[in-house]
């Protein structure tokens, strides 16, 4: 993700990032140029134009009133922006307790149009005036159905826009190593929904957190950075699923000062073999389990994931397992693009770099837990 282009015309044009696989969005760079550009349309004035992964624009003359979201990622961003009351339905709803505090209660009130991909007919007949798509395509295999064509969206009166930080990954070949695409999505959604001030607040908060970590560990030599494996326990243990270089988790891990052991695999996810994990012998393993709806249930799931690694003949000899180098951080805030990605950067870094100053005005000392995201 990184260098972005902004145009000023009669409309405010939000290219977001021509990023994460859209246009010029690679993986390196410090994101400062993008950040500066992303703040330009802070007024949320209309008309506003956002672009898709190919650069084609969609213009809004006013804030949409009826929004459908493809999954929990876009729903959560709208809730955080204060535009959740405009959402009339979602696919892939967040599990109970996945979102923090009041966000969870508000998410529970949103109509679930499908537990996975919203069927084409239901989406087109939803009455929405905009659909926020987190996927490159709804034709995802497994009999989930076909995506509507752009002509069908138009005929139904639905404007079709994307979360480019995730939907555009297939268009890029470079690794995702920053959160600027996520920040640009927040800025774009803020402009579209008339909540630019809140969007700027959210983005500034993310930048502050990641900036503190970058300042503390960013100069650590590559070969001195610990290696890191995100263990997607809920994806199945027979054949592990790796997060690859174009998944947002790769950016989270990289920004935290670690080396994703599968950063060399293309795409976002890839099924690998345990022999691949063994050959890379990670220094640390994140027990990536999905939120179970309560702290007790989550702790039980983390315990199960750890026990599996410690008892399985293929994994019990791994360096991280023998040394008890586990991080208990949930899947959602690591692999789903959103505000909490920045929190996860801090959680990982504070474990891997005890003693570093990672929070404004706070110093982390070895052996002290100063932030949620426990080890072990």
Average pLDDT of adjacent 10-residue blocks, the chain of 376 residues? 27 38 36 34 73 89 97 94 97 86 92 95 97 70 66 96 83 85 95 97 97 93 96 96 95 98 93 97 97 92 98 97 97 93 96 77 42 53
> Using CA atoms, how far apart are residues 15 and 57, in angstroms rounded to an integer?
8
Helix, strand, coil percentages (3-state) for the chain, rounded to 5, are: 40, 15, 50
DSSP 60: E
Tokens 């010029």: give the residue.
24
Q: Which residues pair with 13 in a beta bridge?
A: 49
Tokens 């993008």: give the residue.
34
Q: How many CA atoms lie within 13 A of 107 on its CB side?
A: 26
Cα four-point dihedral sign 367, 334, 372, 291: negative
The answer to whether the beta carbons of residues 43 and 190 sit under 8 Å apart is no
> Using CA atoms, how far apart are residues 354 and 58, in angstroms rounded to an integer?
46
The per-residue pLDDT for 12 is 42
> Using CA atoms, how far apart are residues 260 and 266, in angstroms rounded to an integer?
13
The answer to whether the beta carbons of residues 174 and 187 sit under 8 Å apart is no
The answer to whether the beta carbons of residues 337 and 349 sit under 8 Å apart is no
The answer to whether the beta carbons of residues 77 and 42 sit under 8 Å apart is no
pTM of the shown model? 0.82
Between vectors from CA 117 to CA 113 and to CA 120, what angle results, nearest 5°? 75
- Residue 164 three-state SS: helix
Between vectors from CA 290 to CA 287 and to CA 295, what angle results, nearest 5°? 85
Q: Which residues contact 210 (CB under 8 A, 6 or more apart)?
A: 179, 255, 342, 345
The per-residue pLDDT for 167 is 84
Peptide bond into 47 cis (omega under 30): yes
The per-residue pLDDT for 165 is 86
The per-residue pLDDT for 145 is 57
- Residue 87 three-state SS: strand
Do strands 159-162 and 130-133 pair parallel, antiparallel, or not at all (unpaired)? parallel
**Closest to 81 in 3D by CA, of 161, 194, 172:** 194
């Amino acid at each position: 993700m990184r260098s972005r282009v902004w145009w000023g015309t009669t409309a405010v044009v939000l290219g977001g990032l021509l990023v994460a696989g859209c246009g010029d969005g690679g993986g390196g760079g410090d994101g400062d140029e993008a950040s500066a550009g992303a703040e330009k349309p802070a007024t949320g004035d209309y008309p506003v134009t956002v672009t898709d992964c190919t650069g084609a624009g969609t213009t809004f003359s006013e804030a949409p009133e009826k929004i459908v979201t493809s999954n929990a990622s876009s729903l959560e961003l709208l809730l955080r922006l204060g535009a959740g009351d405009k959402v009339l339905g979602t696919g892939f709803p967040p599990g109970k307790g996945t979102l923090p505090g009041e966000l969870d209660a508000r998410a529970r009130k949103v109509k679930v149009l499908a537990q996975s991909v919203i069927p084409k007919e239901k989406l087109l007949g939803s009455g929405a005036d905009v659909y926020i798509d987190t996927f490159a395509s709804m034709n995802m295999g497994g009999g989930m159905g076909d995506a509507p064509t752009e002509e069908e969206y138009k005929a139904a009166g639905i404007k079709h826009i994307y979360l480019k930080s995730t939907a555009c990954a297939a268009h890029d070949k470079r690794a995702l190593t920053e959160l600027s695409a996520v920040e640009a999505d927040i800025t774009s959604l803020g402009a579209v929904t008339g909540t630019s001030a809140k969007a700027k607040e959210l983005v500034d908060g993310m930048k502050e957190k990641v900036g503190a970590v970058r300042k503390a560990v960013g100069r650590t030599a590559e070969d001195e950075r610990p290696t890191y494996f995100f263990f997607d326990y809920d994806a199945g243990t027979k054949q592990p699923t790796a997060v690859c270089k174009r998944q947002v988790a790769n950016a989270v891990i990289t920004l935290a000062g670690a080396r994703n052991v599968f950063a060399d695999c293309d795409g976002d996810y890839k099924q690998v073999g345990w022999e691949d994990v063994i050959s890379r012998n990670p220094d640390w393993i994140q027990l990536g389990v999905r939120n179970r709806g309560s702290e007790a249930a989550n702790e039980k799931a983390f315990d199960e994931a750890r026990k599996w690694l410690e008892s399985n003949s293929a994994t019990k000899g791994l360096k991280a397992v023998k040394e008890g180098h586990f991080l208990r951080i949930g899947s959602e805030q690591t692999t789903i693009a959103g505000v909490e990605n920045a929190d996860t950067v801090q959680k990982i870094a504070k474990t891997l770099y005890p003693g570093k100053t990672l929070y404004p005005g706070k110093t982390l000392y070895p052996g002290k837990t100063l932030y949620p995201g426990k080890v072990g």
